[in-house]
Amino acid sequence: MNPFNPRNRRTLGGRAATAAIAGAAAMVVAGTLGAGVAGAAPNAGAPQFNSTQASSLIRGSGSDTTFFMMQKIGDLYSSAGLYGCQLVSAAGQSQFNTGVASTTANVNQNCQAGSADVSTTDDADNWNRVEVTQGVNSVGSGAGQNQLCNAANKPVGLSVDFARSSKPSANISGCNEQELGYAKDGVPIVDFPTINPSTFGTSTFSSGQVAGTAYPNGAYSTINGGVVGPVSNGWLPGDNPAGTTNKGTKVGSISNVGAIDTSVAFRLWCAPHSGGSAITDWGQLTNLGPNLEVNVHTTSGSPTVTIDASSGTAFASTIASGNAVTDPFATVGVTPFAAGTTTSGTGGASTLTLSNNATATGTYTLTFATGAAKLAQGSGVGVGIPIRIVGVNTGSGTTYTFAQFADGQTRDSASGCAASATLSDANAANDPNASTAPSGNPYHAALENNAHQLELFSQGDFPSDTVDQAVEEATSLYFMSNGVYNTNAYVGQTTVGGTTYAANLVGENSVFSGASTELNNTYPTARTLSNIVNSATVRQSTSGFMNWICDSNSDFTKNVDLNTGLSYDAELSNIISTNFGFPRLTDLSSPVSAQPADNVVAPNDDCVAQIPVTTDGTTANVTYAGGGNFPTSVLAGGTVIGTGVPAGTTATTAGGSSTVTLSTTLPAGSYTLEFVGVPAETTTSATP
């Protein structure tokens, strides 16, 4: 068992946190001030793993959620190499490293000894002049992990040193995946309540134009005669198309709470179309009453009405005898019943008797006043407005996270999103237009975190038809990264007919995404963004870069960026938390005990050194499991936490040998100890 794998070590149970972490961190920082003095010999071991080899190239691959952020971080680290080691260049010196094949791809220039460095040399940051690049060969967290672990092909000559990931490790066989979580995020649902298709005109997209393989397969011209208002904002057919007096309920939140396979989220994203429980009509989310709009069939001269399939199979049981019945279209069309009509029977069946005879035969929308409380979301009455689920790249961590949420808190392993190879694309919509639908009409598949792609879909489906473009987008549900949504306005909006509309965040279980809810895991899709390495083969240059990201001036003090005058650590925090909107995690971050409602672990302490140890229970000494040595970055006075470790425990001796003494004697056994203020990478391979 790999002790560094978060899934394995979390079988040890919850960890005891401590209130003294901040104080301990201050002691750690005080013990390391002064790092980076020019002329000093740089640390050759953890956490920076400096070597005599310069200009190593390291490459990440995977998540596109973190692609742009890791580009910025990699560029910052590479730029620190401008003030890196003095390169060997004098006559008589070995300019290039030895012991490797003499090919251009494998020969690197050497660093001189630290004593040869000049006064501007920075040996606290990128002393080895490592160059970082981000791969785009195959995007998605799963793709990156597979390439890292040689379970998927990668371009010739382009190895993967770390996988960018927005989901936990996949535990790929033969690969010791170690997660280095440096930020948090959430995956909110978004809708488009400000898109009002009626401002562009009347839809002419009829049932005869719908592609035979389309899902959903509704005609837009039949919705309110083709005059469609802001659907997700609570607009119902018969309401003012301007959306000023919507009688429906705006979609404020969607829940994954409920018995097995019954939550609203499950029924939207995961329930089979033909299963009967799927939510496919906006009325099921917004037409909740107490005044319910129902599509009915009438027969002239008869008081009996029959529910239309677009509104379900039975009238709501909240309809009681004597309730008022009105026609929301009375001012714009033929009303089939006289004023003052009421119900003579109760709901619960496919037919209902009214107090007056119908004056016309046809299909109409009637409003039934129930006087009762609103129906539960998902149990509303359909109104013939199809819901479009936007498909997202199934290899992405964003899709993985949302699929677990959509599957519900109580899961059926034999069905649903997580059991399907297509994850949350199980109910994804495709091109509804027969004239533009491609052969087979596959679902629209968007890259993650970019709502702007919806306009590309709608424009391709309805070229030069802004009305139906607007209907398609107004009836869509998408999901995306909260950090991306909050920091990149362009990808959080879409455009119809030259007008731009911002996507709207929908709550999950009535909780909204934000730094606090993500950090404490109360947001249902809170997740940890990490870089994953293979701990058995990780290179020294990669480990140094990983620790540079994880450390928050607690183990070594980053220097000032001479290009900006700012601390590299401040710039790192600014990139992660300000520019990209992800709350930063470091080697000072405390554990979080709660697990998000999507049932996926989202730890806060993967950037902290977590070392497996054993103790015989007779002394306060702990021994490095497997015969290794504690890194010298473990300092006396640093806080130690872990399952079964009393709060306030510290290390009373420093690392450097196979044992460390704690301030508390632990019962005999095996433990995974966290050394607060020490970055996560403590061992590495012999490869620079």
- What is the C-alpha to C-alpha distance for residues 94 and 112, in angstroms, rounded to an integer? 10
Confidence of residue 394 (pLDDT cuts 50, 70, 90): confident
> Is the four-CA dihedral 402, 407, 409, 415 of positive or negative sign?
negative
Give bridge partners of residue 5 from the DSSP assignment: none
CA distances (Å), origin 653, targets 17, 429, 587, 636, 663:
21, 61, 19, 5, 9
The residue count of the chain comes to 688
Q: Poorest-confidence range of 155-159, 235-239, 411-415?
A: 411-415
In the structure, what pLDDT confidence band is assigned to residue 302 with cuts at 50, 70 and 90? very high
What is the identity of the amino acid at 129?
Answer: R
Residue 385 has pLDDT above 80, yes or no: yes
Query: 643 vs 521, 646, 647, CA distance in Å?
Result: 20, 9, 10
Provide the pLDDT for residue 421: 56
Query: Which stretch of 10-14, 261-265, 300-304 has the lowest confidence by average pLDDT?
Result: 10-14
> Any residues with CB less than 8 A from the CB of 268 and at least 6 apart, and which?
254, 278, 279, 387, 389, 406, 427, 477
Alpha-carbon torsion angle 229, 234, 237, 243, nearest 10: -40
Starting at the edge strand that comes first in sequence, how are the strands of the sheet with 388-389 ordered? 253-254, 504-508, 189-191, 476-479, 388-389
Give SS3 for 237. coil
Considering only residues 317 and 425, tell me which one the structure prediction assigns the higher pLDDT: 317
Taking only the tens place, the pLDDT of each residue in 169-216 is: 989 999 999 999 999 999 999 999 999 999 999 999 999 999 999 999
Tokens (6 digits) for 654: 């420093």
User: Where does the pLDDT of residue 108 fall: very low under 50, low under 70, confident under 90, or very high at 90 and above?
Assistant: confident
- Single out the residue of 436, 377, 384 nearest to residue 252, CA to CA: 377
CATH architecture of 36-184+529-579: 3-Layer(aba) Sandwich (3.40)
Whether the pLDDT of residue 647 is over 70: the answer is yes
Instruction: Give dist(CA 48, CA 40) in Å, integer.
Output: 14
Average pLDDT over every residue of 227-253: 93
303: preceding bond cis by omega (within 30 degrees): no
What is the pLDDT at residue 514? 95
Give the residue ranges of DSSP H helices in 396-555. Answer: 397-406, 453-461, 466-474, 482-487, 515-519, 540-550
Contact in structure between 360 and 350 (CB atoms under 8 Å): no
Tell me the per-residue pLDDT of 426-447, one tens digit each, with 9 for 90 and over: 899 999 999 999 998 999 999 8
Integer Cα distance of 666 and 622 in angstroms:
9
Confidence (pLDDT) at 113: 86
**Residue pair 444/391 in contact by the 8 Å Cβ criterion:** yes
Q: What values do phi and psi take at 601, rounded to 5?
A: -60, 140
How far, in Å, CA of 688 to CA of 680, rounded? Answer: 18
Per-residue pLDDT tens over the stretch 14-30: 333 333 333 333 333 33
Contact 198, 517 (CB under 8 A): no
Please state, in angstroms and rounded to a whole number, the distance separating the CA atoms of residues 224 and 102. Answer: 74
Give the mean pLDDT of the chain. 89
Judged against a pLDDT cut of 90, whether residue 310 lies above it is answered with: no
Quote the CA–CA distance of 585 and 179 in Å, as a whole number.
Answer: 13
Ramachandran area for residue 254 (φ above 0: left; ψ -120 to 50: alpha; else beta): beta
Total-model pTM: 0.89
- How confident is the model over 62-84, as a mean pLDDT? 96
Q: Tell me the average pLDDT across 309-323.
A: 91
Contact present, 73 and 60 (Cβ < 8 Å): no
pLDDT at 150: 92
Distance CA 137, CA 140 (A): 10
Which residues are within 8 A (CB) of 273 and not within 5 positions of it... i.e. 6 or more apart?
215, 280, 427
Q: How many angstroms separate the CA atoms of 223 and 386, rounded? A: 10
Place of tokens 């393989």: 213
In terms of C-beta density within 10 A (0-12 exposed, 13-18 middle, 19 or more buried), how is residue 632 classed?
middle
